[in-house]
Structure 1
Amino acid sequence: MISNHTARCLLWGMLCLITLPGIAEERPIQVTTAQLGDVAVYQEYSAPATTLSLNESRISAETTGVILRIPAQVGDRVERDALLTALDCRDNQLNLRKAEAGLAGIEARVTLATRQIKRTQSLRKTSSVSEERLNQQEADLQIAEADRQAQLAAIAEARLNQQRCEIKAPFAGVVRERLAGEGEWVNPGQPLIHLIDLERLEISAQVSVDRVASLQEAGKILLETNQGVYPVRLRQVVPVVESLGRNREVRLQFSDGRALPGSSGRLLWQSQQTYVPADLPVRRGDTLGLFTVDQGKARFVPLSQALEGHPTQVDLPADTLLVIEGRQALSDGAAIELAN
């Protein structure tokens, strides 16, 4: 039989053992956790950008003449090969007729020279004509053939000049400006219509040198304008650094939808590098770091480049379990228990 005094002593001893510091430290600390991928943040960047048309052309006259009419008005959308300006080219029509008439005369010469050669060749069998005469006739035929080829080229040029009396749109676009008026005499090379392509567009943006790599790695790039937000894709980073702004020009293309040419906005993208929020790292000694879960233990992962008050870059798998609540009371290797 154990006396009451002995029982009280045993109970007191057990309570002392329970409250010993070494034993208390072994009790698991309750914490909450989250996967890195659920709490990660990604740096957002932006850069000024402008929508440009790849074809912004001043359509010029290719022949001389008086402008008869300009059916295209400022703001009109025109299709490819639509009539922009018509010229009075009666001179070109007369030149074409002259060239065709000249060809008829040359064809007669070729026919005559051919017949003469055939007759001379038949007479040569009876030695009635000299070989010199035959040679002369063959030379005349060659000259006539050469004149015919030159005249055919002249006819082609006259027809081309006649076609140039109608100035047509080289691409589908919108008329930005009329640069001449009806009744005006124009010369080759004189601009008549300012036309902008609405289909072949690109975005030009100025990106800081240290952010170009993040743009190239970005999974999603957006152009934000006052007309809306458009998904775009990177086409080219121009291999030149501007000496003043230390920027590089990048060219992008629309993926879906298009902003109007000349639209200004901001290029938006996110870095693919994983960061943790500024308030998540804790300090142990002189080092900031994160607590992760490793087989029921807390493991301190130092972040050598971490700065207090700033998001910190990490290179851990997205499914890494991070201690969220209760991390301030932890030390490396401490036993932990996940809170319900």
Structure 2
Amino acid sequence: MSNQFLLIAIGVILLGMSSCSKSGEKITYTDNSPVINVQVNTLKEGSSGQVLSASGKIEAADNARISTRMMGYIERINVEQGDMVRKGQLLVRINSSDLLAQQAQIDAGILEAKANLNNIEKDLNRYKRLYENKSATDKELDDIQAHYEMAKARLESVKQKRNELDVQFSYTNIKAPISGIVSARMANEGDLANPGMPILEIESHKDLEVVAMVPESEIGNIEMNLPVTVQVPAANEKLNAKVTEIAPSAKYTGGQYQVKASLDSKSELLKPGMYATVDFPVQGKRKMGTLMIPRSSLIEKGQLQGVYTISEDNRALLRWLRLGKTYGENIEVLSGLTAGEKYVLSAEGKLVNGSKVNY
């Protein structure tokens, strides 16, 4: 029985193979995926553009970090973060009990030195009269004169110590050097304050500036008073600014030069700490033969960036790129594309690798 079933199965298979060989027909598949309309561009070599874009941050042009010039416990902090302060306002008081003890000693020393000077001055006047009457020698007069000068110097020395102490007393009352807003409070009452240790930070929002880092290869194209454009996404602002400071060295900034530009805006939406993009109109000769594409054409997945290219059969093929510097709305292509290749600028639908396209 089993042999009969085996023979039947073999016969069915042979019959099917014979049928296929006689018909000679091939199985085909139909691609019914939609065709997506796209706008393409051909990559060409050219100038690297006339605008250099750099990341920056909004900062207060006038700011102050408040610290003490003497060691002592913080007795009182009169402001909180966010408070408005005016120039000369008392902000912090440092405990001065040690200075008060020194003051008592110095004041007692001043009284003693004054009394001693008065006594010696009386003796000096008496010896002068005796000398005029030939009743005192030159040596006696010289000795009393020397004692008088020493007593006088002693009084001046003690007075100088009192002046120095008064300066130290002034350090215990810390006042605002500028008018502005308390942007940070870094200490509390009862903390031990050391010289240079920040207690408060004040920022004047009256004048704002943007601080950007410019690479070594481009710093030669940036000059003082250069007009720049600043885009601040958080405030939805596009502002004008002017370069006011160019760092002379990049020794401690990894080859990046710090450039500051004052903002020509009084907008209340702008706040120190906001991120910005600074567009520098580059001066001088620029590198030719650079491959540039619009930043808007980029496809991003994690840390990877690329564009869709067009194959010979009009399909979108994703190509990952190695990118360079940003120049305004464009970005430099270092590798991944060659001049003459077509790439997608925009699409009317969602593209995936292999999508059929029409342009």
For this structure pair, what is the TM-score category when the shorter chain's length is used for normalisation?
A: 0.5 to 0.7
Q: List 4+ stretches of structure 1 deviating above 6 A.
A: 241-246
Long gaps (5+) in structure 1: 1-41, 274-306, 310-340
Alpha-carbon displacement from aligned partner over 1:82-126 (angstroms, at most 9, x marks no partner): 222223323323432332232122122222222211211111122
Match of 2:203 among 197, 201, 219: 197
CA distance, structure 2, for counterparts of residue 218 and residue 128 of structure 1: 82
**Hey, what does 2:261 align to over in structure 1?**
252
1:56/1:194 contact within 8 Å kept: no
SS, match of residue 69 in structure 2:
coil
**Hey, what does 2:29 align to over in structure 1?**
none
**Hey, what does 1:263 align to over in structure 2?**
274
Long gaps (5+) in structure 2: 1-48, 285-338, 342-359
**Hey, what does 1:109 align to over in structure 2?**
116
Alpha-carbon displacement from aligned partner over 1:54-98 (angstroms, at most 9, x marks no partner): 666542233454433211101222222222222332332343233
**Hey, what does 1:145 align to over in structure 2?**
152
**Hey, what does 2:355 align to over in structure 1?**
none
Alpha-carbon displacement from aligned partner over 1:29-70 (angstroms, at most 9, x marks no partner): xxxxxxxxxxxxx94442212223466654223345443321
Deviation for aligned residue 1:255 = 3.3
Give TM-score scaled by structure 2 length.
0.55
1:99 aligns with 2:106: yes
Count of residue pairs the alignment pairs up: 235
Q: Please list, as runs of the form range in 1=range in 2, the aligned pairs for 1:111-190 lying within 5 A after superposition.
A: 111-182=118-189, 184=190, 186-189=192-195
The root-mean-square deviation of aligned C-alpha atoms, in Å, is 3.6
Task: Choose 117-126 or 260-269, whichever is displaced more.
Answer: 260-269
- Percent of counterpart pairs with the same letter? 21
CA distance, structure 1, for counterparts of residue 65 and residue 252 of structure 2: 32
Give TM-score scaled by structure 1 length.
0.57
Closer/same/farther in 2, CA of residues 256 and 109 from structure 1, 3 Å limit: same
Letter paired with 1:76: D
Q: Please list, as runs of the form range in 1=range in 2, the aligned pairs for 1:316-335 lying within 5 A after superposition.
A: none
SS, match of residue 164 in structure 1:
helix
Deviation for aligned residue 1:152 = 0.9
- Could you say which structure has the larger radius of gyration? 1
Task: Choose 74-83 or 186-195, whichever is displaced more.
Answer: 186-195
Closer/same/farther in 2, CA of residues 238 and 128 from structure 1, 3 Å limit: closer
Task: Choose 140-149 or 102-111, whichever is displaced more.
Answer: 102-111
Deviation for aligned residue 1:170 = 2.4
